[in-house]
Amino acid sequence: MEEAQRRALRRGRARLVAALRVAPLWDPLRERGLFTPAMVEELQSAGSRGEQARQLVIDLETRGKQAFPIFLSILRDTGQGDLADMLMEECGCPPALAQPVDLRPVALNLRGEKHTKSVNFPERLSVPVQAESERPRMLPTPARGLVVDKRNGDLVYEVKADPCGHCLILNNVNFSRDSDLSTRDGSDVDCEKLEKRFKALRFDVVTRRDLKAQEMVLELQKLARRDHGASDCCVVVILSHGCQTSHIQFPGGVYGTDGKPIPIEKIVNYFNGSHCPSLRGKPKLFFIQACGGEQRDRGFVVDCDSPGDGAPGGSLESDATPFRTPSGNVDEPDAVASLPTPSDILVSYSTFPGFVSWREVSSGSWYVDTLDSVLEQYARSEDLLNMLLRVANAVSAKGRYKQIPGCFNFLRKKFFFACK
């Protein structure tokens, strides 16, 4: 959904809560595919008509690019065209931008020719359509080279190698019975997304699935001991259950399939300057999809102009487990707690330390799904820290329970991915 459309929903929320007749909306919302039957039932159970209306407006922001124009169409079909007109005024954008149409098919290419890709309009869409010649021209996403010209070169990591580095993805889905850890349904969805994304970002991607703690350690050490002389960076992604652990530098831990935890700081320190000389001065990026603890955050009430929360779609699970003291047999001699201050390292966590991280069976975790989407849209033009702010902002607006990703940043420069 366009940001202008999100703002329109937030600004118009008070009026919608006061005037929206929700009863006629449920059937068309299901029929037009905006919400599943289960999601509609959850909305209907929100309480009074006003509470149902408020939750519906909040949830619309999470339903994709076509949600806004289809909702306007449904409003008009159910005799609530005045509310549709109000939202259009709040949107402050041409009608064409409110339609589920990718404007790229009518954008001009570098030779001035128009694309002829066909587009499908939603059934019964009553929002007026602009003629092709009247549609605003879409500016192309700036090429990475154009952005570099405007940056201070000595504050940007050099990423020119192809492949630019190694990416290791550890994906734990099935855990042993005596571990008391549940199957992480939906994690394979996360894994597939990130495999494709980092390959598109010119990484040599290796994936390992369902590893015990010691097997995870061996894979991490194997990567750390490689010669990274020809690489410009390194990425480690861990998808698993997580917990709180005692720590000095980086909080949290992740579990092997045998239920034994590995502290995040141990993982990070395998790659620091003293243990991985060929990565000295090069960015080392860690993305952790795991719970930081068992606390569940219900958030706090916001006013109509503040970002709303969105309801999850499908089955919702967390990757939380109780606090445990790290198991001594996982630590290796070259992964001691007392190490030099790390540099050129960034650890991105899916959630705040101590809190759970949410995952949906059908679409994967909130964090990975959002990270993948942000990388797809902005990796060509924005640095990593700016994109992680986008991820945090988007994830924080999801669900009845709340989640806020964050990072421990020890990078010395800006990091821009090299896109194909």
> Which residues have a catalytic role annotated?
241, 291
Distance (Å, whole) CA 100 – CA 205: 34
348 by DSSP, 3-state: which? strand
Contacts of 368 (CB under 8 A, 6+ apart): 190, 193, 194, 239, 289, 350
Distance (Å, whole) CA 7 – CA 121: 23
Q: How many residues does the chain have?
A: 420
Q: Could you tell me if 401 and 297 are in contact, meaning their C-beta atoms sit under 8 angstroms apart?
A: yes
Q: Could you tell me if 187 and 172 are in contact, meaning their C-beta atoms sit under 8 angstroms apart?
A: yes
DSSP for 268-309, please give it. HHTTSTTT-GGGTTS-EEEEEES-S-SB-B------TTSPPP
DSSP for 52-103, please give it. HHHHHHHHHTTS-TTHHHHHHHHHHHTT-HHHHHHHHHHHTS-GGGGSS--S
Distance (Å, whole) CA 26 – CA 154: 56
Alpha-carbon dihedral 387, 391, 393, 396, rounded to 10 degrees: -170
Site of tokens 């192309």: 140
Nearest to 202 by CA among 157, 167, 230, 153: 167
Give the β-pairing of 316-318 and 358-360: antiparallel
Q: Could you tell me if 392 and 402 are in contact, meaning their C-beta atoms sit under 8 angstroms apart?
A: no
- SS3 readout for 349-416: ECCCCCECCEEECCCEEHHHHHHHHHHHHHCCCCCHHHHHHHHHHHHCCECCCECCCEEEEECCCECC
How many beta carbons lie within 10 A of that of residue 110, not counting itself?
Answer: 6
Burial class (CB in 10 A: 0-12, 13-18, 19+), 153: exposed
Distance (Å, whole) CA 296 – CA 354: 9
